[in-house]
Structures are given as structure tokens and as C-alpha cells.
Structure 1
């Protein structure tokens, strides 16, 4: 069984474009799993893990049918933290053999071998101190190093100030994350916040030779969910 977040009374499975990271702009089907092992203060999907919204438990076959409803063969596993449910994910993915799969993860749980082989792209978002998480829980350099070694992982960092960028470069070096695999994106949950931060974040990218990630879903739909 898989535990999914619910939105407007339905399991949160929807067709949209990828809003962040190296695949941004790409049409995808999103599957939002419930539960997370962290608790970021600025999380824009906290309802998927903080108990403020109902969840639903479905068999992998039922989830696969809902995913196949959409004429799109790129699937994004997101959350919450999808790897909390990694034991149940292979059964789902075996039912979707034609789908290319991305996984959003916070980089604190190592995927097991079958998922490492099956998933084409890991979008890893390690959390900095401004997330409000204890560093010992949120920063797992051994796991990050192993994910980087797969050459399937890209590392997205949310930044609020230039000191965050400097910290990222130091921490990434310690965890063996290549600079060319790092993306930085503004800390923003509204269009107004994104517009205020975007130009400064681009300036940091230019200064430190890093890749910029926009947040297209916020730019287009604001704080609306399920898009």
C-alpha cells in the first residue's frame, strides 16, 4: 500500500510542468506521497506531512491506473519525503515500465538498489539551517556522496542570502557534490517573494559559477496547490 496526500478530497496525482531543477518546463505526472522525516518551516506542501489534511492509502495497482489516466510518460515522485515509502515503490514502478521517473528527496535516506536502478533522475534538496531542522537530521554527507556517485542526482538548494551560497559550496565540497550538479533557487512561496529574490539569486549564480533554478509553478500559479 502507498500513502498519498489528498487535495480537494482526491489523491494528489496531477499533470503539470516541472517547476524546478534541470527538468523545469517538462510535462510530468506528479504523485505526492504523504509523510516526511523533516519539518521545514517554509515547506509549501506541509499538509502532506503535518496532519492538517487527510491522506489515503491505495494499492500500487490503483495508483498506477490513476497515473496512466494522463497522456504523459514522465512521472515525478514527490512529497513529503517519498523514500519513507520506498519499500512499496518498486511494485508501483513495475506497473509503469514505459515511464521515465524522477524522484524528489531531501537526501537523508538512501534509496535501495532496485530504486537506484529504476529511477532516471534524483532531484535532491538538502536542507540548510534556515529550514528549522536540526543539522544532524537534515545533513547526511555520506548519503549525499553516494547519490552524487550515481551520476543521476542533481542537488537543489534553497537560498535566502549570500551566506547560504557560501555554506552550500563548503558543505558540497565535504560531501563530494560536484559544483556543476548544484542548482540554487530563491526562498519564496509567493510570486511577490520570488520576484523580489530572483535577480539577486541570479547574481549569486554568476558570482559563484552555479546554476540557477527558477520556481515556475510559483511564477505561474502563485501558492495554488495541485498544479
Structure 2
């Protein structure tokens, strides 16, 4: 998240390659099948990306280079990889386009695309990235290349299997999201000091629920905690006032990318 590059979106037809990666690539097949595509010399058929093993492929919504807008990394240049698909339907979701839009890419090609930006920070987000098994291959591969890797997850799935080198940014859904019943509460017991928890607050009821959840589970003693107001629904100053009144040990987190480029912009 320096100046954004409108041409930085992921595309199955344009993938810059600067460094090689060590992940597994699809092997050639010697039998012919209508589901196979052929290489340019038309001799060796290769399986389409969607047919690869689940850990070797990802359905990608977009890849872009921008200014990180949230978390303790806000303000830093970052390459963001947005995966397709989400099992939640939060009422205030601002990335509904990621539910279905996307193209299949090899994990190796995604890693090469990220490395092409020559940026030391990368975030994997969604949608819900943990729905795709290949995300673990991606995150570990980026860590192997020396990048600092962030995972932004909706908090409805188990985070314990994530590479320990990855910094996990975990949502805890408040009531107004419509998804509070789908919080995976055991995640709170798995938090490390390098992780972060984010609660998106729409109104006073959400704030009071968040306050009690933080206190009851002592989340602030485990890692950094962020309260983020729903864009265009709760004034940031109002949320800040509540936090100050209660002396709540959290950060008030604003979506910096929206302040820079507006609430409707994509690829930022």
C-alpha cells in the first residue's frame, strides 16, 4: 500500500518473473485429453492450473502494490495478494467483489509476481484466504524468500496451522456484522505476541460487545488489538471518544487506503 499502480492487478496472461522459486510445478502428461491444454510447441500437453493439486494453485482476485492501510503496518509499502472466496457475508463488507471474481494461478507464479515488486512486505488477504489449501504453500514460500508476510483472516477458521513465521491479523466479528456466531473462539488461545486482532465496530452496541470481549478474554495481553469504525457508518472521533472514556488498551485503526484513495477504489 507508495503510489498505487493501476496496472498491478493479477492477470493470468501477464506475470512478471524475476526470481525463480522452489515450489512444485505441474508435471507434463503423455496422454491426450480434451481437458488438457498444450505448450506452444504443441507436443507436450500440460494440465490446466485448476486441475493441479490444491496446494499448488490459488484462485486470485487481484495482486497489487500499495500502502498498507490497516494493522500496525499501516503506512508501509506492501504487496497485497487478494484471494477469491469467503464463507462469511458481513453486512459492511467492502470487498464483495472477491467472493466470486478471480483467475487460477500457480502458487509459484504468484510468488514470482510478488517478488517482482521488490518489496519486503506482503499481505495475503481476501475474501477468506484460509479457504484455499494453496495459501499455506504461498505464505511459506514468501517467507522462504525472506519477505515479512501478513495474513488477514476473517476469524471464522482455525489459524493454528499457519506457518509460525507469518504474522496473523485475525478478525473478531461484532454483532452488527451478522457473523458473530461464526467466530472461531479457540483462535484466541493460539495468539502470539506477533499476531493482531481486529474488531470492526459499527455502533455503540458493537463497541460495548468488543470492550467486554477484550476484557473477558484478555486479548490485549496476548497481542495488539485494533478497533476499526465501519466506513461511513461510525465517526472515527466517536469511537476514539469511547475508547478514551473507558481507557481501553487498544488502537483505534482507520483504513488509511480509503483516506488516501476513497472508499470505492479497488487495487489499493
**If the TM-score is normalised by the length of the shorter chain, which range does it land in?**
0.7 to 0.9
- In the TM superposition, what are the counterparts of 1:26-175 in structure 2 within 5 Å? 26-49=76-99, 51=100, 54-85=101-132, 87-96=133-142, 97-113=145-161, 115-119=162-166, 121-133=167-179, 135-137=180-182, 139-146=183-190, 148=191, 150-175=192-217
Instruction: Give per-residue Cα distances to partners, 1:75-111, cap 9 Å, x unaligned.
Output: 10000011111x2123323443211000101112123
> Contact conserved, 1:145 with 1:177, CA < 8 A, in 2?
no
> Aligned match of 1:181 in 190, 199, 224?
224
Structure 1 unmatched runs, 5+: 6-11
Q: Distance in 2 between matches of 1:42 and 1:164?
A: 13
TM-score (norm 2): 0.71
CA RMSD of aligned residues (A): 1.9
Q: Could you tell me which residue of structure 2 aligns to residue 18 of structure 1?
A: 68
| Cα distance between partner residues in 2 of 1:36 and 1:166 | 27
Higher share of residues assigned helix? 1
Distance 2:185 2:140 in 1: 30
Structure 1 length-normalised TM: 0.83
Aligned residue number for residue 224 of structure 1: 265
- 2:159 and 2:187 in contact (8 A); partners too: no
Task: Report how many aligned residue pairs link the two structures.
Answer: 206
Shift of 1:43: 0.6
Distance 1:95 1:160 in 2: 36
Structure 2, unaligned stretches of length 5 or more? 1-56
Q: In terms of Rg, which structure is larger?
A: 2
